[in-house]
């Protein structure tokens, strides 16, 4: 079992201390997570202490501890993202889209704005950013692939059609998609991505990884056992872990 989407700093309500790191790793051990990856938001770059994670990891030899980063993809930031990524030996980078043209669409306060738009257009604009992120060469994993559904606004057109070009880009660029369980605790109440998109990805040969998107230690590993069962029932044979930007397969038993 893996969990590669864990926020040590939460929403900057916690610090990168030894005790905090241990709390996450204790929870990972209790939940029998073989590989855990810390991937804080790049906006907290100055508060990170990435070497400390590697140091505390030595106390837990039974767990593979990985260091990643969740990066907000934005065309204008491509260069600064590139520099950030090069400045540390990350195991992987998650590329996420939480903003469309400067609009931070996933905040609870933005729900109403979702209803006021043409849903197909909303999804198309979102997926075209995901496509650009996949083509940017910056990322190893696409985070919460269909986050745009967060407030349960559905497109009129089949989502697989709207998603098609971004899926092609993910496949062509060798990226991995995470099954992110946090969506269950948002208004949409389902994992990211939804099942028919997981099926479509599997058909296209896109590999998967797992992420709880935990913003506190108690959430590490949440619902991931259920995801493993689901993936197996869909015929998925393995998951991808990471080390030093390389994919490392985990058999799904
Ligand atoms: Zn995110
Ligand atoms: Zn996250």
DSSP-derived pairing of the beta strands 246-251 and 238-243: antiparallel
If DSSP codes are grouped into helix, strand and coil, which group holds residue 120? helix
pLDDT of residue 232: 97
Over the stretch 159-207, which tens digit does the pLDDT of each residue have? 999 999 999 999 999 999 999 999 999 999 999 999 999 999 999 999 9
* Ligand number, closest to the Cα atom of 4: 2
Rounded Cα distance between 192 and 198, Å, is 9
CA-nearest of 145, 41, 149, 37 to 97 is 145
pLDDT of residue 76: 85
- Distance, CA 121 to ligand 1 centroid (Å)? 21
Rounded Cα distance between 62 and 59, Å, is 9
- Distance, CA 173 to ligand 2 centroid (Å)? 22
Q: Is the pTM of this model over 0.85?
A: yes
Q: Is the domain covering 2-251 a CATH 3.40.640.10 domain?
A: no
253 residues of the chain, pLDDT tens digit each: 999 999 999 999 999 999 999 999 999 999 999 999 999 999 999 999 999 999 999 999 999 999 999 999 988 888 889 999 999 999 999 999 999 999 999 999 999 999 999 999 999 999 999 999 999 999 999 999 999 999 999 999 999 999 999 999 999 999 999 999 999 999 999 999 999 999 999 999 999 999 999 999 999 999 999 999 999 999 999 999 999 999 999 999 7
- Distance, CA 132 to ligand 1 centroid (Å)? 17
* Ligand number, closest to the Cα atom of 5: 2
- Distance, CA 49 to ligand 1 centroid (Å)? 20
pLDDT of residue 148: 98
Q: What residues have their beta carbon closer than 5 A to ion ligand 1?
A: 96
């Amino acid at each position: 079992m893996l969990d590669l989407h864990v926020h040590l700093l939460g929403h900057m309500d916690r610090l990168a201390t030894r005790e905090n790191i241990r709390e996450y790793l204790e929870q990972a051990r209790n939940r029998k997570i073989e590989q855990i990856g810390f991937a804080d938001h790049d906006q907290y770059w100055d508060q990170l202490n990435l070497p400390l994670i590697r140091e505390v990891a030595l106390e837990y030899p039974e767990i593979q501890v990985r260091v990643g980063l969740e990066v907000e993809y934005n065309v204008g930031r491509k260069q600064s993202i590139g520099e950030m990524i090069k400045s540390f030996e990350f195991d992987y980078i998650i590329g996420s889209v939480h903003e469309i043209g400067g609009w931070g669409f996933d905040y609870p306060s933005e729900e109403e704005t979702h209803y006021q738009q043409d849903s197909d257009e909303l999804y198309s604009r979102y997926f075209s950013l995901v496509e650009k992120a996949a083509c940017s060469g910056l990322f190893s994993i696409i985070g919460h692939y269909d986050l745009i559904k967060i407030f349960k606004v559905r497109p009129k057109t089949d989502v697989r059609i709207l998603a098609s070009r971004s899926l092609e880009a993910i496949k062509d660029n060798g990226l991995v998609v995470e099954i992110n369980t946090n969506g269950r605790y948002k208004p949409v109440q389902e994992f990211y991505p939804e099942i028919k998109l997981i099926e479509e990805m599997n058909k296209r040969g896109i590999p998967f990884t797992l992420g709880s998107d935990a913003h506190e230690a108690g959430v590490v590993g949440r619902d991931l056992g259920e995801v493993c069962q689901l993936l197996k029932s869909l015929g998925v044979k393995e998951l991808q872990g990471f080390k030093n930007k390389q994919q490392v397969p985990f058999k799904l038993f």
